[in-house]
Amino acid sequence: MILYFTATGNSLRAAEKIASATKDRLFDIGRAVRHGGFKVELAENEPLGFVFPVFAWTLPGVVELFIRKMEITGYTGQYTYGVFTCGESAGGTEAALAQSLSQRGIALHYTAEVVMPDNYIIWSHLLPPEQLGKILSAADGQIERIAAAVSARERKALSAKKPEMPCLPMEDVSTAAGCSKLRATEKCTACGLCRAICPTGCIRQSGDNRPRWEGQCTQCLACLHRCPQGAIEWEKDTVGKKRYVHPKVRLHDSYE
């Protein structure tokens, strides 16, 4: 089983390609967190994979929360691996995942990272289309090699490197700056897509029906990148910047 979290499609691309090669089932962590569905039922000898993007060189809060609350049955020491999509480096993500899993009595056997287009446009701009295309093509090659390694049940000595930044537990995300900095501009048509695709359910619509961010925002930026009107901004930091969705995946339209 491949448990994945995705916001703009990079990790979904990796999860789907690995699943195609290994014939494993896919499990959407974002949907599970949105609805409180933490049950994972493994079959005998079924491998357990985690595929997700790197947030600030460590686990996304959504993934940390899911692992902590996961109600897993059928686990008897099956092969377990992690695949991390990142803009440049996974940092301490391997150590963070190993630590989170070990607290649940699960051993991590293999990890790999896949360089994908960096779409955290709060800090930077997207690369030009030609460069994005080269990165995506190279990423597909990386994923194919990772799928072969997973199929062969390859193992590796895990790094002792500690996370460079601690994972912020979901209960504490409301104290972060994210919710107060996201806003809908006058281009908003109140279509509700942002609310529907938010994995933490932190977007509300009331009054004029424009979205408002309240509570546990994990800063995945799915709402910002996928707004059909380009009407969502992070203060002034994202104004005029291009948005991004992986061109070869079909993302869900709603978690509701």
Specify the pTM.
0.93
Amino acid identity for residue 27 in this structure = F
The full 3-state SS of 25-91, as one line of letters, equals CEEEHHHHHHHCCCEEECCCCCCEEEEEECECCECCHHHHHHHHHCEEECCCCCCEEEEEEECCCCC
Every domain of the chain with CATH number 3.30.70.20 lies at 170-234
Residue 145 phi, psi dihedral angles, 5° rounding: -70, -40
Tokens of 173: 């995300």
Give pLDDT tens digits along the chain (256 positions): 999 999 999 999 999 999 999 999 999 999 999 999 999 999 999 999 999 999 988 899 899 999 999 999 999 999 999 999 999 999 889 999 999 999 999 999 999 999 999 999 999 999 999 999 999 999 999 999 999 999 999 999 887 666 555 554 444 443 344 566 899 999 999 999 999 999 999 999 977 889 999 877 888 999 999 999 999 999 999 999 999 999 999 998 888 7
For the domain 170-234, what is the CATH code? Answer: 3.30.70.20
Report the distance separating Cα 235 and Cα 140, nearest Å: 34
For the domain 2-151, what is the CATH code? Answer: 3.40.50.360
Every domain of the chain with CATH number 3.40.50.360 lies at 2-151
